[in-house]
A = this chain, B = another copy of it.
Amino acid sequence: MLKLNSSFRSLASRSLSTRQLFYEKRGKPEKVVQLRTIELADTLAPEEVLIEWQAAPINPADINQIQGTYALRPSLPAAAGLEGAARVSKIGSAVKSVKPGDQVLTSYDIPGTWTDFGIYDQKHLIKIDNDLPIEHAALFKVNPPSAYLMLKEYAQLNKGDWVVQNCANLAAGKQVIQIARILGFKTFNVIRNREDLRELVKEMKDMGADEVVTEEELYDKKKKIKMPRAKLALNGVGGKSSLYLATALERGGCMVTYGGMSRQPTQAPTAPLIFNDISLRGFWLMTWIRAQKDVSALQKMYADLSGWMKSGEIAPIPMVKRSLVEHKEALAEAQVKFDKKQVFFMKKQ
């Protein structure tokens, strides 16, 4: 296989080869995803930008999109990968928004991040802070904005207010804990029981979690766990877990569902729905992105998040660094091990 590196870009008039993880049919990701080498066009149109991908994680949404169960179903064959960070290599003659060396993401609805190089119209690139370390930049696009928006858009929280959440030890949950801490909100975190529970609870408390309980403890009536009254509940699980979260909501409170790991319907107790005016909403980052008329809210969010990451207030998510050729192992592990992200790093680390 051709080894690619950045020096390759200097071969200006020759076409550029890029490795790319793609799939020709939807199905089990570790079976259907293949690595191919393709040639990119050798010249850029005036509005086009050549970018070099640095790192790109495997998210649950990637798995679902490859399986065909995600809300967005690209036509086949499809380039895989929804999130990742790249650097600008070369720009077309009319490009003003970025310059070589800039760190960028690609638009939310364009997959194909698990690759070495790509050519995009400048309007499909999102410039982010050039100094944001790659460990943050690679995982910047999905979870941090989701956590940020869920904490800001569904309830008027004041400092000291509680937020309750389940699957709190997964990537999105950890972002919620940290951003809530920064914003002055308290978090009550529900997780599943596990062998190294004590270590995990310590890790989460170090991150800023105010309370951590297991679902088993929560469901055990003898334990008499009293959940705090909350204006906001964040649900990534569904089923019984969502029912318990919803019981913590105070008058007018909202439970926001962003995932359904249990594959059970989302549930809420009927009496508080009727008498306490609680509500159930769903969060999908795409819905929010599409609803933005101008980019200022997005830019403010990115600036806030970058600042907190660079200052260390938000810690990087633990990851396993993978090369593109390790895609089978990486995809298989991403579906069973949830405490570390599988992240493709395009160049040898």
A residues with CB within 8 A of B: 71, 238, 243, 257-260, 264-284, 287
Residue of B nearest to A255 (CB): B280
A238 touches B282 (CB 8 A): no
| Assembly CA distance A51 to B243 (angstroms) | 46
| Assembly CA distance A284 to B273 (angstroms) | 9
A267 touches B266 (CB 8 A): yes
Most chain B beta-carbon neighbours within 10 Å: one of A257, A266, A271: A266
Contact A271-B238, Cβ < 8 Å, known A282-B279, A284-B277, A287-B277: no
Residue of B nearest to A275 (CB): B71
Contact A268-B266, Cβ < 8 Å, known A277-B284, A287-B277: yes
| Assembly CA distance A255 to B269 (angstroms) | 14
B275 touches A265 (CB 8 A): no
Most chain B beta-carbon neighbours within 10 Å: one of A71, A259, A270, A281: A270
| Complex interface: chain B residues within 8 A of A278 (CB) | 282
| Complex interface: chain B residues within 8 A of A266 (CB) | 267-270, 273
A54 to chain B, nearest CB (A): 29
A275 touches B282 (CB 8 A): yes
A59 to chain B, nearest CB (A): 14
Interface SS of chain A: mixed
B265 touches A267 (CB 8 A): yes
Given A71-B274, A257-B270, A259-B270, 9 other A-B residues pairs in contact with their CB atoms under 8 A: A71-B271, A257-B273, A259-B274, A265-B267, A268-B280, A270-B282, A272-B282, A273-B280, A279-B282
Residue of B nearest to A283 (CB): B274
B277 touches A279 (CB 8 A): no
Contact A280-B280, Cβ < 8 Å, known A269-B265, A270-B257: yes
B274 touches A257 (CB 8 A): yes
| Assembly CA distance A277 to B278 (angstroms) | 16
| Assembly CA distance A270 to B260 (angstroms) | 6
- Which of B259, B265, B270, B277 contacts A268, CB < 8 Å? B265
A94 to chain B, nearest CB (A): 36
Q: Lowest 7 CB-CB distances: which A-B pairs, in order?
A: A260-B270, A273-B282, A280-B280, A71-B275, A274-B282, A265-B267, A257-B273
Residue of B nearest to A268 (CB): B266
Residue of B nearest to A258 (CB): B274
| Complex interface: chain B residues within 8 A of A238 (CB) | 270
B280 touches A284 (CB 8 A): no
| Complex interface: chain B residues within 8 A of A243 (CB) | 265
A143 to chain B, nearest CB (A): 15
Q: What are 20 A-to-B residue pairs whose CB atoms are below 8 Å? A: A71-B271, A71-B274, A243-B265, A259-B270, A264-B270, A265-B268, A265-B269, A266-B267, A266-B273, A267-B267, A272-B282, A273-B282, A275-B282, A276-B282, A277-B282, A277-B284, A279-B279, A279-B280, A280-B280, A280-B281
| Assembly CA distance A266 to B275 (angstroms) | 14
| Complex interface: chain B residues within 8 A of A268 (CB) | 265-266, 280
Residue of B nearest to A278 (CB): B282
| Assembly CA distance A269 to B276 (angstroms) | 22
| Complex interface: chain B residues within 8 A of A280 (CB) | 268, 273, 279-281
A271 to chain B, nearest CB (A): 7
